[in-house]
Amino acid sequence: MNRILKLVFAAVFGASFLGPPVAYAQSWPQRPITILIQTPPGTLLDVLGRSMGADITEALGQSVVFENRVGGGGSIMMKAASSTEPNGYTLAITAVGPAVIRTLMEPPVGYDFDRDFTPIVMIGDFPNTLLVSPKLGINTVQELVAYAKQHPNVTMAHSGPGTVGHLAAIMLGERADIKLNLISYRGSGPIITDLISGEIAAGFPPYNPAAKNVKIIAVASEKRLEFLPDVPTMAESGFPKFFATTWLALIGPANLPPDIVERLNAIINAWASKPGQRAHFNNLGFNLHGGTPADVTRQAEEDRPKWAAILRDHKITDAPPAR
């Protein structure tokens, strides 16, 4: 009898620890969900997040509240997200900058993407595009390289220190063996304006629909874009495995329950697959993905050594990576 009582006690005692998490995951959510965003209200990332939030609300029956945590190239938002309870009530939309690039810089940002976060889904990316001034009469990457060899220190604009466009421009210079005069801008809009006027020769910003007013000679994506079908990739232009995109992913703090991850992943994949959704965001220059949580981890692992080498070799530190 004593042995039986011990077994019953052990079962009840164990259930006191195992029971609540299971019940909690099944009953989630019971209150509004907060999603942190690194950019100000009204930006494309903010618009994208609110579109997703509407579908999360419809699927789960709870409202989604957005908090714009601006600053530090996204690191302020990431620190806030990493310190929350893994209960599914605080999530974040991160980008390659704060998730990967900023963690490779000095001084340390105080979080580790692999250790401190749970990937949920890869939302998509802003593909970086290689642009040239229409005044130059250049139509291909090889023509740009030839021009740069004849005109050392040709001007190449990017969207700010430590951004994907900045690192992609450096990578192009190294792989093509050309010397570029890299110029930092605040976003892709001013770059396009100066390309139109001929103030600068080339640029490597994330895609902006206004780029159709200049010459787009290549995209730094793995395959051609649906909304730029006639523009070749960098690989097709003679630079194999030249990938540089500003990707976005939905994440939560470390140890987010798998049931919650699975539900959110399914909701976002369904949102991305809605009729007309891809075309709508393509018109804004965003390439929708979807997929599994493992896709986020894989992309971060692929990007980390590539960008780490450039950051180290060119001593790029303390630069806020942002779109």
State residue 106's pLDDT score: 80
Confidence of residue 160 (pLDDT cuts 50, 70, 90): confident
> For the chain, what is the mean pLDDT?
90
User: Cβ neighbours of residue 139 under 8 Å, at least 6 residues apart?
Assistant: 215, 217
Residues 133 and 203 in one domain: yes
Residue 290 maps to a domain: yes
Residues 117 and 192 in one domain: no
Residues 114 and 172 in one domain: no
Residue 234 maps to a domain: no
Q: What is the mean pLDDT of residues 138-153?
A: 96
Rounded to whole angstroms, how far apart are CA atoms 136 and 291? 41
Backbone dihedral region for residue 225 (phi beyond 0: left; psi -120 to 50: alpha; all else: beta):
beta
Residues 54 and 182 in one domain: no
Residues 45 and 105 in one domain: yes
Q: What is the mean pLDDT of residues 45-59?
A: 94
Q: What is the mean pLDDT of residues 289-293?
A: 95
Gyration radius of the chain's alpha carbons: 23
**pLDDT surpasses 60 at 18:** no
Residues 252 and 208 in one domain: no
- Within 10 angstroms of residue 165's Cβ, the number of other Cβ atoms is 30
Residues 97 and 174 in one domain: no
Is 181 in contact with 153 (CB distance < 8 Å)? yes
Residue 259 maps to a domain: yes
State residue 44's pLDDT score: 86
**Amino acid letter for position 185:** Y
Q: Percent of the chain scored above 90 by pLDDT? A: 77
State residue 187's pLDDT score: 82
What 8-state DSSP symbol labels residue 161? T
Residue 137 maps to a domain: yes
Side-chain-side CA neighbours of residue 175 (13 Å): 19
Nearest to 200 by CA among 186, 183, 188, 219: 183
Q: In the block, which residue shows the tokens 């969900």? A: 33
Residues 60 and 109 in one domain: yes
Token pair for 128: 């970086």
- Within 10 angstroms of residue 135's Cβ, the number of other Cβ atoms is 14
Q: In the block, which residue shows the tokens 């029971």? A: 19
Confidence of residue 318 (pLDDT cuts 50, 70, 90): low
Q: Percent of the chain scored above 70 by pLDDT? A: 90
User: Cβ neighbours of residue 221 under 8 Å, at least 6 residues apart?
Assistant: 125, 127, 233, 243, 245, 287
Residues 80 and 160 in one domain: no
Which domain, by its residues, includes 141? 129-219
Is 214 in contact with 132 (CB distance < 8 Å)? yes
**pLDDT surpasses 60 at 246:** yes
**pLDDT surpasses 60 at 237:** yes
Which domain-ending residue is among 177, 201, 219? 219
Residues 200 and 251 in one domain: no
Nearest to 44 by CA among 281, 296, 289: 281
Q: What is the largest CA-CA distance in the chain?
A: 93
Residues 109 and 180 in one domain: no
CATH number at residue 138: 3.40.190.10
State residue 258's pLDDT score: 97
What is the value of pTM for the model shown?
A: 0.87
Is 288 in contact with 249 (CB distance < 8 Å)? no
State residue 116's pLDDT score: 98
Is 181 in contact with 155 (CB distance < 8 Å)? yes
State residue 1's pLDDT score: 43
Residue 211 maps to a domain: yes
Token pair for 307: 């960008």
Q: For the chain, what is the domain count?
A: 2
Residue 299 maps to a domain: yes
Rounded to whole angstroms, how far apart are CA atoms 208 and 193? 12
Residues 139 and 109 in one domain: no
Stretch among 86-90, 209-213, 307-311 having the lowest mean pLDDT: 209-213
Q: Which H/E stretch holds residue 54? A: helix 44-60
Is 39 in contact with 323 (CB distance < 8 Å)? yes
State residue 285's pLDDT score: 87
Residue 318 maps to a domain: no
Backbone dihedral region for residue 285 (phi beyond 0: left; psi -120 to 50: alpha; all else: beta):
left
Confidence of residue 25 (pLDDT cuts 50, 70, 90): low
Residue 295 maps to a domain: yes
What 8-state DSSP symbol labels residue 201? S
Q: What is the mean pLDDT of residues 88-104?
A: 96
Token pair for 240: 């194999």
CATH number at residue 267: 3.40.190.150
State residue 43's pLDDT score: 85
